Amino acid sequence: MGTQAEVDARTVLGASGCPLTIAPNRLRIYVEVAPGPSLGSAAFLNHMGASGPVGMGASALDWQSSRGAATETARGDFSTAVGQNNTVVAGGTNSAAFGFNNNVQASNGSSFGANNRVDGMYGVAVGRGNNSRGQASITIGRNNATGVGYAQAVAIGDSNIVSNVAGVAIGSSSQAALDSVAIGNSAFATAGDNVAIGRRAQAVNIRAIAIGWDAIGGGADAISIGSNSRAGGQGVALGRLADAGVGPNSMALGYGATVRPARVTNITAPIFTRNDSGEPLANSDLFFSGANVLIMLPEVDISVLADYSATIAAAGNVRIWLEEVGLILTTRGAPVTTQPTVQFGIAGTPAKYLAPTLCTLLTALRLRERFNLLLVDEPETSLSFGIVAPAGVPGPASCFVRPYFRGHLVENE
């Protein structure tokens, strides 16, 4: 109120003819008394007359700084419209519209904020520009929408869309379908029974799951977890850049794991046996199981490189006991006229496990040559391979091999 209050008392006579005079600070409130109170510059109750039946116990309140043509319409029984340009329709029993330009078209609906609309019974719209179209659907934030006739849908955040029953979209510009959940920025769970969580996560086939930045569950029943991961039908991709998006029923586990054929598994980090931390003897099989691991190097051109070596350092406190080394001829541009001479070892001792040896079996594509080791009992933390003398290949053609090491990895005690 205050000392600067401007008194502008007016009376709008309602059904009972009761006047109300209020002196706010440049604020004008007008009252019309009907079956329920109607307050405001043009507040309107749907009482008996040309407008139709009475809205029993309804209330309309217009609260603004200057009088205009704004209308608060509370037509439903026991409904309430408060603010400016809010409407509750005749069928909107027990409904409420608060704020600016809100519209409630069903019973037991609630709209709070600006430019919201509720079409579904028991629907709720809170914020700005939201549209709750299905029964018991909820939109909270800005410009969210639930589909027409789709019940129990929830959209929270900014510009999210739920297009079917019981979908949930939370975040920004995300979309959810039947019984699906999409959470994040531009997350899409659009096929039914999906889960998509993370920025640009996409679960776009039935029952697919995608969790992580730009993760994609592209096939039915696919599971993709980790940033930039991909999974196809009944596939599993777990880890950053894991890709099981081509071969169905396959698994890619670990950073950068990739599966292209069907029904296979790729694990990027080798399996090791952990150390003893005081577990009981009876649980040895549970805690201390391991596997024979195969570590392969990238392809090496045996026809060009005369002095090639690569070293792999085992991570942390893990050591490997070697049991086998060898080569597989993976690409052959022309028949090998002279076999290469190779050696295997460790960093600093490149011929520790195999002294320079002339190959004899690399004569056809995908053939393998294995070598007897000089040692089998020493643990190592690095591995190396070298070409002492290159293979002879006629013309511009080249030949490639994949060197490999096989053994057991065990954690230090």
Half-sphere exposure of 62 (CA within 13 A, CB side): 28
Considering just the CA atoms, what is the radius of gyration of the chain in Å? 37
Q: What is the DSSP letter of 87?
A: E
The one-letter amino acid code at 115 reads: N
Q: For 173, list phi and psi in degrees, rounded to 5.
A: 55, 35
Q: How far apart are CA 240 and CA 384, in angstroms?
A: 28
Residue whose token pair is 């599971």: 223
Q: What is the DSSP letter of 390?
A: P
pLDDT of residue 152: 96
Which pairs with CB-CB distance under 8 Å and at least 24 residues apart come from 14-18?
14/38, 15/47
Q: How far apart are CA 365 and CA 62, in angstroms?
A: 86
Half-sphere exposure of 44 (CA within 13 A, CB side): 21
Spatial strand order in the sheet of 341-346: 309-313, 382-389, 341-346, 349-358
How many residues are listed for the chain in this entry? 413
Q: How far apart are CA 399 and CA 385, in angstroms?
A: 17
Nearest to 380 by CA among 302, 325, 299: 325
pLDDT of residue 11: 36
The secondary structure of 336-402 as a DSSP string is -SB--EEEEEETTEEEEEEEEEE-----STT-EEEE--S-SS-EESEEEEEEEEPPB--TT--EEEE
Q: What is the DSSP letter of 299?
A: P
pLDDT of residue 234: 95
Residue whose token pair is 């959940």: 181
For each of the chain's 413 residues, which pLDDT tens digit applies? 333 333 333 333 333 434 444 444 333 343 333 444 444 444 444 433 333 343 566 666 655 444 444 567 888 889 999 999 999 998 889 999 999 999 999 999 999 999 999 999 999 999 999 999 999 999 999 999 999 889 999 999 999 999 999 999 999 999 999 999 999 999 999 999 999 999 999 999 999 999 999 999 999 999 999 999 999 999 999 999 999 988 789 999 999 999 999 999 999 988 889 999 999 999 999 999 999 999 999 998 888 777 777 666 665 688 899 999 999 999 887 788 889 999 999 988 999 999 999 999 998 899 999 999 998 899 998 889 999 988 887 766 778 999 999 999 998 88
Dihedral sign, CA of 296, 297, 300, 305?
Answer: negative
Q: How far apart are CA 327 and CA 403, in angstroms?
A: 5
The secondary structure of 260-278 as a DSSP string is -SSS-EEESSPP-BPPPSS
Burial of 299 (0-12, 13-18, 19+ CB in 10 A): middle
H-assigned helices in 280-324: 284-287
Q: Which residues pair with 406 in a beta bridge?
A: 294, 324
Please check whether residue 192 is in contact with residue 179, taking contact to mean a CB–CB distance below 8 angstroms.
yes
Nearest to 199 by CA among 174, 169, 224: 174
Encoded tokens for 171 = 């975040």
Residue whose token pair is 């040692």: 375
Kindly list the domain boundaries of the chain, sorted by start residue.
1-104, 293-411
The one-letter amino acid code at 11 reads: T
Please check whether residue 91 is in contact with residue 104, taking contact to mean a CB–CB distance below 8 angstroms.
no
First to last CA, the chain: 79
Residue whose token pair is 């008194």: 7
Q: How far apart are CA 87 and CA 79, in angstroms?
A: 10
CATH of 293-411, one of 2.60.120, 3.40.50, 3.30.450, 3.20.190: 2.60.120
